[in-house]
Amino acid sequence: MQVVLVGFMGVGKTTIGRILAKELGLPFMDMDRELVNRIGMPIKDLFEQSGEEAFRLEETKLLAELRSYEGVISTGGGIATRPENVELLLQFETVVFLHASFSVVNYRINKNKRRARPLAEGDVGELKKLFFDRKVSYEKVATFRQNTNHKPLKKITAEIREKLQGQEC
Per the annotation, binding residues for substrate are: 32, 56, 77, 134
Per the annotation, binding residues are: 10-15, 32, 56, 77, 117, 134
Cβ-contact 8, 105 below 8 angstroms: yes
Per the annotation, binding residues for ATP are: 10-15, 117
Task: Map 33-98 to HEC letters.
Answer: HHHHHHHCCCHHHHHHHHCHHHHHHHHHHHHHHHHHCCEEEECCCCHHHCHHHHHHHCCCCEEEEE
Torsion-angle region of 150 (φ positive above 0: left; ψ -120 to 50: alpha; else: beta): left
Centroid of chain to Cα 149 = 16
Task: Of 141, 129, 156, 123, give the one whose Cα is nearest residue 79.
Answer: 141
Per the annotation, binding residues for Mg(2+) are: 14
